[in-house]
């Protein structure tokens, strides 16, 4: 099995442990804005499913097929990883932006169901290609001691898309038509392409080796830590999805929530995501990455217990869900820098497989969630708790870089 310390390039041992490279913060701002746009384009479909269905002349089942198909396109991300390892992270970012721009341009020009289907899949693939490439870039440029904060800043794009981006797109749609967001996304994509070309440096490719798909797969299989990390990601996302997919139905069944109330609940969850990302940015480097993930899972388990015990009143239910989504986001963001350092010589490859593990976990979680809910929401809670405990056991088996004695300077 591969030892994590053996994978570190020699030059990384002499990097200052708590010094950010020059210019990295301006690059982080640019890439966070780009990722917020990507996230908005993909998350806005959920609240406006009925609007898109009417615009395309199909029923909700037809749109649901699109959502299901696009979720599994993230599993294709590892097939693009070898080119990013060979040609560099900037190439991967530009590829993602080009795909995103093409998808949104095509949908605006040809607003048919078939084009919507394909463009949503391409847009979703571009989202996760950008996700894995950006974190591979951060892993190359930012020392491990301070990488957690930078990773957390990037993940603000997730909550900001729901708190800011999606409401803005709602105003645009209500004032115009269902097609109106797509030229906006295409225009931002074109601008992002030009800015990345100009402002993001083009360092040497992430690996000096010519890694192809098969060699990348073998490299991961030969690392116990990498395999354990991927299983952790799959399980933790699977457990969360057993709650995430049906909590809205549960709120409606239990408390009579309607559309407006469900929208307010979504905003509460967006705030929980934002707070989870903020806490990770503040504490992950100070506490240590692995310790932070373990704390987050523990809080996640506590929130599930509270949801089971106190979920019979509206306010206790919402408070429990708030803590649940906060802890989930804290764990996901805190775990990113861990995975970015497991295989530094195949960083983009491993992160692309991590993205695939996220997608697979959500896909399998979506399959079982509704069946569990038919037996009662408490079964979903119990299943999520058992899966979280399994994920915690996997985390304890991972060998991660030592973080003792690291002094983190403020940004």
In a domain, 281, yes or no: yes
Nearest to 143 by CA among 409, 335, 397, 331: 409
pLDDT, position 11: 39
In a domain, 31, yes or no: yes
pLDDT, position 261: 62
pLDDT, position 208: 45
Tens digit of pLDDT for each residue in 165-211? 888 888 888 888 899 999 999 999 999 999 999 999 876 554 445 56
Round to whole Å and give the CA distance between 77 and 352: 6
pLDDT, position 162: 78
Tokens of 275: 């707070």
pLDDT, position 2: 41
State the chain's mean pLDDT as an integer: 83
Nearest to 386 by CA among 231, 240, 227: 240
- The average pLDDT across 251-257 equals 77
Tens digit of pLDDT for each residue in 45-78? 876 777 888 899 988 667 767 877 787 787 788 8
Nearest to 35 by CA among 126, 102, 107, 137: 126
Nearest to 159 by CA among 327, 275, 47, 242: 275
Nearest to 338 by CA among 67, 138, 189, 123: 138
DSSP 8-state assignment for residue 108: H
Between 300 and 59, whose confidence is greater?
A: 300
List the domain range (segments joined by +) for residue 206.
7-396
pLDDT, position 402: 57
Residues of the chain with pLDDT > 70, as a percent, come to 85
In a domain, 166, yes or no: yes
Top-confidence range, 9-23, 54-68, 335-349: 335-349
383 pLDDT exceeds 90? Answer: yes
| Residues sharing a CB contact under 8 Å with residue 317, sequence separation 6 or more, in sequence order | 251, 254, 255, 307, 310, 311
Confidence of residue 117 (pLDDT cuts 50, 70, 90): very high
Task: Give this prediction's pTM.
Answer: 0.75
Confidence of residue 410 (pLDDT cuts 50, 70, 90): very low
In a domain, 2, yes or no: no
Q: What is the per-residue DSSP string for 328-388?
A: HHHHHHHHHHHHHTT-GGGHHHHHHHHHHHHHHHHHHHHHHHHHHHTT-HHHHHHHHHHHH
Round to whole Å and give the CA distance between 85 and 348: 6
305 pLDDT exceeds 50? Answer: yes
DSSP 8-state assignment for residue 409: P
In a domain, 407, yes or no: no
Tokens of 77: 């991300």
Between 231 and 342, whose confidence is greater?
A: 231
In a domain, 182, yes or no: yes
Q: Provide Rg for the chain, Cα atoms.
A: 21
CA atoms lying within 13 Å on the CB side of residue 159: 24
In a domain, 209, yes or no: yes
Tens digit of pLDDT for each residue in 84-116? 777 888 999 999 999 999 999 999 999 999 999
Confidence of residue 311 (pLDDT cuts 50, 70, 90): low
- The average pLDDT across 37-43 equals 90
Residue 345 belongs to domain with CATH number: 1.20.1250.20
pLDDT, position 396: 92
302 pLDDT exceeds 90? Answer: yes
The total number of residues written for the chain in this structure:
411
Round to whole Å and give the CA distance between 154 and 158: 8
What is the number of other CB atoms lying within 10 angstroms of the CB of residue 170? 16
In a domain, 411, yes or no: no
* Structural domains counted in the chain: 1
């Amino acid at each position: 099995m591969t030892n994590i310390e053996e994978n570190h390039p020699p030059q990384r041992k002499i990097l200052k442990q708590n010094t950010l490279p020059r210019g990295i913060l301006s690059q982080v701002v640019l890439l966070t804005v780009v990722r917020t746009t990507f996230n908005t384009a993909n998350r806005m479909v959920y609240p406006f499913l009925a609007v898109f269905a009417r615009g395309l002349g199909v029923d909700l089942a037809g749109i649901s097929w699109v959502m299901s198909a696009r979720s599994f396109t993230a599993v294709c991300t590892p097939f693009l990883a070898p080119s990013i390892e060979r040609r560099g992270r900037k190439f991967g970012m530009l590829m993602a932006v080009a795909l995103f721009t093409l998808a949104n341009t095509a949908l605006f020009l040809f607003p048919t169901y078939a084009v919507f289907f394909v463009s949503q899949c391409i847009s979703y693939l571009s989202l996760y290609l950008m996700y894995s490439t950006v974190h591979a870039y951060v892993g190359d440029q930012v020392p491990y001691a301070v990488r957690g904060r930078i990773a957390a800043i990037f993940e603000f794009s997730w909550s900001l898309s729901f708190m800011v981006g999606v409401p803005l797109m709602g105003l645009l749609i209500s004032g115009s038509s269902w097609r109106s967001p797509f030229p906006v996304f295409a225009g931002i994509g074109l601008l992002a392409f030009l800015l990345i070309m100009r402002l993001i440096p083009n360092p040497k490719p992430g690996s000096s080796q010519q890694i192809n798909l098969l060699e990348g797969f073998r490299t991961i299989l030969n690392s116990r830590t990498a395999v354990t990390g991927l299983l952790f990601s799959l399980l933790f996302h699977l457990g969360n999805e057993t709650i995430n997919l049906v909590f809205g139905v549960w709120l409606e069944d239990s408390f009579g929530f309607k559309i407006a109330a469900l929208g307010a609940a979504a905003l509460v969850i967006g705030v929980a995501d934002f707070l989870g990302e903020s806490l990770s940015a503040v504490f992950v480097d100070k506490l240590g990455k692995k310790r932070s993930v373990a704390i987050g899972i523990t809080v996640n388990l506590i929130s599930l217990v509270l949801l089971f015990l106190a979920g019979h009143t509206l306010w206790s239910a919402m408070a429990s869900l708030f803590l649940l989504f906060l802890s989930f986001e804290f764990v996901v963001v805190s775990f990113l820098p861990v995975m970015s350092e497991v295989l530094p010589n195949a960083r983009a490859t491993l992160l692309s497989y991590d993205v695939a593990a996220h997608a697979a976990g959500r896909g399998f979680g979506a399959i079982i969630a509704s069946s569990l809910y038919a037996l009662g929401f408490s079964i979903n809670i119990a299943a999520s708790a058992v899966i979280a405990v399994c994920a915690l056991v996997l985390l304890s088996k991972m060998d991660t870089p030592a973080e003792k004695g690291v002094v983190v300077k403020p940004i």
